[in-house]
Structure 1
Amino acid sequence: MKAARRFPERTQRSVFDRIRGGTVNNVCAYWLAGRCTRNPCRFFHPESLPSHPPKQSPYQRPKTCPKTWRRSPGDGVKNSSISPSGVAAKKMSSSSPIDCERKTPEDGVKNSSVSPFVKNSPIEKDSSSERKTPEDGVKNSSVSPCGVAAKKMSSISPSDSEHKTPEDRVKNSSVSPSGVAAKKMSSISPSDCEDKSTPTNPDKVCKYWLLGNCVRGEKCKNLHSWFCGNGFSMLAKLEGHNKAVNGIALPCDSAKLYTGGKDNTVRVWDCHTGQCVDVVNLSGEVGSLISEGPWVFVGLPNSIKVWNSQTQTELTLDGPVGQVYAMAVGNDVLFAGTQAGIILAWKPSSETNGLDLAASLKGHSGGVISLCVGAKWLYSGSMDNTVRVWDLNTFECIHTLKGHTDAVMSVLCWASFLLSSSLDGTIKAWAATESGNIEVIHTHKEEHGCLELCGIQDAEEKPILLCSCNDNTVRLYDLPSFTERGRIFAKQEVQAIQIGPAGLFFTGDATGQLTVWKLAGEPIAVAS
């Protein structure tokens, strides 16, 4: 039997000999390229190039141009040269080279990746670039305005090479040396956050700031505030509801504020401390909530809850079909607009010490979602795109106002005029003519659908119209000019607005956020 033996001429080195060992005879490819950052390096760094240097690799810099990186025409890569102000990192593998295309800083932001531990850090564009020595590595490296996008070096471990540029950190394939997976930030566009010191869109709030993740900070071109304009300010935010606030009521001679929402609750707030002092759990969503004197009315599916804030009396009114969307009180009658398109009317009864159903007003073909009382008439807005006018005494429909092309979300009486807002993006002003008809005398157009209308007077008793839109804003307009004096921003649509004493007003949005606002003593109008 013959024993296997090694050939003496084929000497091999154990891989364990390389650990902490000296250099090998292979010349370091990164040293030839002028960008090796390892000290010591396990590959050979000759003091000078050999007299007959090896054939130039497409991944090495030519000696005649030490600050540029380019590939030969035969490699088939166009526009591969990079200016001295940028550093290009290429994949060092046996596979075919991957093309590297030139990108601007704006291109680098799109579909970019940012580590979740630095997702709130701004992505800035450097105005200059400085050539770093191999000893400097890639720490604190700057990028030129030409915005060169570097490719990841997938075949080399992070310990072998750390030739990374800032662009590497914002590409989808980037991984930090510690192995942290980068998070995609594809929803950010360059137009949303620019390198500016002051907002260039003072009437547009930054949507990323609303969500708490704007990366631009003070350099964002959009507004970082819950409102813009002079003459009013935000006093407080009341937290409690976890779904949309659909109604706000402030009973007379009461220090309590009532709010109802889609979370099936009515919350009672102390007006002095801003604390929630009571939570009433109900059987369904609160579709509307109003107060008249000490009485609080809560619209629910198929019923209405009635509370007296002074005597704690509680009643339940049955009769509505579907959700109660709107309520109003006029001529000692409670009116309720329902999902079925019927308006129910209740009158007080001395015999039962409660409210008795007096009439059912029929005419709308869609749900009644807004009601208001003015003089001797009741106005109703519906999902059938019309406004109907009802006589308070006879409960008969005397006018049908057609002019909107979408659901009428709110109706409001101002002086001798009727204002109506619609999802068609218009606010219409109606007035009675000499012939007895009611016609549109003015149409104000918005870029978005209009939701809730509410009126208030400033310190000089000038009328102000508050209009919430489905772009998550509330506009403040001077009447009758419709000159915008300010704007309120919210995370989602503001579905409830209520006026309080001494210039106070309240807004509730679809997230459940309740906000308290106050008009200033001497408001200043802001041009639109």
Structure 2
Amino acid sequence: MAAAASWTEDVMESLQLNLGVDPVCRLPEELMAKILSRVDLQSLWRCLQVSRAWNTVAMSNPVWLAQFQSRRKWKAKQQRVEGLNWKKMFTTRHQLDVHWKQGQAKTMMLNGHTESVYCLQFDDEKIVTGSRDRTVRVWSTKTGELLKTLEENQPSNGEKIGGHLGSVLCLIYDNHLMVSGSSDTTCIVWSLPEFKATHRLRHHTSRVLDCTMNDRFIVSCSKDGTIGILDKKVADYPLLRIIQACQGSLNAIHMQRNLIASAGVDRVVRLWHAETGKGLTSFHGHTRGLACVQISPDMRIVVSGGNDNTIRVWDVWHRQCVRVFTAHQGLVRSLHINGHKLISGSYDKTIKVWDLDSLTLTMDLDQFHSAWILTAKTNGKMIVSSSFGPTPVVLDFTTGLDPRYMNLIEY
């Protein structure tokens, strides 16, 4: 971008010397827009103030579309929207980054659980939480209103499948169903959007600690050290295979496409092929048991955290550790990847935000929880987290930003 700005300044100087007039008055607007599309943001703001003619060109949609597209981490859901103002789109996205850098967020508390919240997932409409009080609760993302409580003895289709008989330790959902796992050793499948319990799955002999899924498989892990892989495409969700993955508690699992990552008390991160159940590789380096693991969307890296207070970043292709983060002062309990951001939550009562491109710490949040962080997730616009207590916290970084343009941004 700096080279482009230098080139543009040279062009402008040459035009002014050779023509002796303002180039905006001589060159076609399309050409001037193309030139201004290549300047850096600070120079573009100056161009807006030169004159009315310069302002007209510098405000044009092609200029700001090019500015938006030049940010490698920025994406729009649609490039062509009726009446879309790309300057407004750019400034909205830019201001969101400013909010993240400054930790500027509106705080909302979710009040309703009676004991600690161990797991959660959310989208633009709903937040779903699972708790030691044996319930799953559904909240409005926008207002924090409690919409639904899923608990024991809830009838479904005339059959008393009920809810969980123990703590809800994990959950995951997509557009059609949700799976929750519990200390009662079972998983329950819930149909969406009704949140009706349809199946209770019994394939572990101890508490179900984590679950994940894609469009083909439901995968869970347990304190019994096993991974259970079930067929999501078949109505009764039959068990395809059980893998003995750890000699001891298998605490965390995550899947991207056909790649499964697991982490447990044996300190080893292992990768598995979901279709075959075959072990692919293992990563050694942590010095104490593991609590969380995540695979990046492009499947190039795996991140893991645990009781040695570190986060390790593993290069899947080269099968080696490329970075160790040591900023946490307690067990790293939760990891979540969204785009280029990694969110970590720890027993040191902090949530930290990392940039996965530069592998650096970009934000440290230590003022929102007074107890161990149990889970923390982000969608690029907000963070929802819970600690050793009944009240999850929502941090909304979009406050004051135009919702129309926020809805057009992809994270």
- TM-score, normalised relative to structure 2: 0.64
- The equivalent residue for 1:103 is none
Q: Matched residues, percent identical?
A: 18
2:389 to 511, 522, 528: 511
Write out aligned runs for 1:32-431 (5 A): 230-250=102-122, 255-281=125-151, 282-300=164-182, 301-311=184-194, 312=196, 314-330=198-214, 332-348=216-232, 350=234, 353-414=235-296, 415=298, 416-431=300-315
Contact 2:216 2:233 in 1 (8 A): no
State the secondary structure of the residue aligned to 2:137: strand
Alpha carbons of 1:255 and 1:331: their partners in 2 closer, same or farther (altered >3 Å)?
A: closer
Contact 1:454 1:465 in 2 (8 A): yes
State the secondary structure of the residue aligned to 1:239: coil
- Cα offset, 1:231, TM superposition: 4.1
User: Amino acid of the residue matched to residue 319 of structure 1?
Assistant: H
Alignment partners' CA distance in 1, 2:197 and 2:106 = 34
Alpha carbons of 1:441 and 1:378: their partners in 2 closer, same or farther (altered >3 Å)?
A: same
User: Amino acid of the residue matched to residue 309 of structure 2?
Assistant: G
Contact 1:477 1:486 in 2 (8 A): no
Q: Does structure 1 residue 496 correspond to structure 2 residue 366? A: no
User: Amino acid of the residue matched to residue 121 of structure 2?
Assistant: A
Alignment partners' CA distance in 1, 2:253 and 2:336 = 12
User: Amino acid of the residue matched to residue 275 of structure 1?
Assistant: E
Alignment partners' CA distance in 1, 2:399 and 2:129 = 27
Q: Could you list the per-position Cα deviations for residues 394-423 of structure 1 after superposition, in whole angstroms to 9, with x for gaps in the alignment?
A: 101121221111111111122411111121
Contact 1:230 1:486 in 2 (8 A): no
Q: Could you list the per-position Cα deviations for residues 33-65 of structure 1 after superposition, in whole angstroms to 9, with x for gaps in the alignment?
A: xxxxxxxxxxxxxxxxxxxxxxxxxxxxxxxxx
User: Amino acid of the residue matched to residue 476 of structure 1?
Assistant: V
Instruction: Give the greater-gyration-radius structure (CA).
Output: 1
Q: Could you list the per-position Cα deviations for residues 370-417 of structure 1 after superposition, in whole angstroms to 9, with x for gaps in the alignment?
A: 111134321001111111111122101121221111111111122411
Alpha carbons of 1:427 and 1:349: their partners in 2 closer, same or farther (altered >3 Å)?
A: closer
Alignment partners' CA distance in 2, 1:241 and 1:328 = 24
Contact 2:122 2:141 in 1 (8 A): no
User: Amino acid of the residue matched to residue 294 of structure 2?
Assistant: L
Contact 1:478 1:485 in 2 (8 A): no
1:445 to 309, 313, 326: 326
Residue-pair matches, total: 284
Kindly indicate whether structure 1 or structure 2 has the higher relative contact order, using CA contacts under 8 Å at least 6 residues apart: 2
Alignment partners' CA distance in 2, 1:286 and 1:341 = 18
- Cα offset, 1:276, TM superposition: 1.2
- Cα offset, 1:360, TM superposition: 0.2
User: Amino acid of the residue matched to residue 387 of structure 2?
Assistant: D
Contact 1:231 1:521 in 2 (8 A): no
Contact 1:231 1:520 in 2 (8 A): no
**RMSD of the TM alignment (CA)?**
2.5
Mean CA deviation greater in 372-381 or 514-523: 514-523
Contact 2:343 2:378 in 1 (8 A): no
State the secondary structure of the residue aligned to 2:186: strand
Alpha carbons of 1:430 and 1:228: their partners in 2 closer, same or farther (altered >3 Å)?
A: closer
- Cα offset, 1:522, TM superposition: 11
Structure 2 gaps, min length 5: 1-98, 152-163, 402-411
Alignment partners' CA distance in 2, 1:331 and 1:365 = 29
Structure with higher helix content? 2
State the secondary structure of the residue aligned to 1:471: coil
- Cα offset, 1:326, TM superposition: 0.5
State the secondary structure of the residue aligned to 1:319: coil
- The equivalent residue for 2:341 is 464
User: Amino acid of the residue matched to residue 403 of structure 1?
Assistant: G
Alpha carbons of 1:261 and 1:484: their partners in 2 closer, same or farther (altered >3 Å)?
A: same
- The equivalent residue for 1:210 is none
1:477 to 339, 346, 354: 354
Structure 1 gaps, min length 5: 1-226, 458-462, 524-528
User: Amino acid of the residue matched to residue 310 of structure 1?
Assistant: P
Q: Could you list the per-position Cα deviations for residues 118-175 of structure 1 after superposition, in whole angstroms to 9, with x for gaps in the alignment?
A: xxxxxxxxxxxxxxxxxxxxxxxxxxxxxxxxxxxxxxxxxxxxxxxxxxxxxxxxxx
Alpha carbons of 1:250 and 1:294: their partners in 2 closer, same or farther (altered >3 Å)?
A: farther
- Cα offset, 1:508, TM superposition: 1.2
- TM-score, normalised relative to structure 1: 0.50
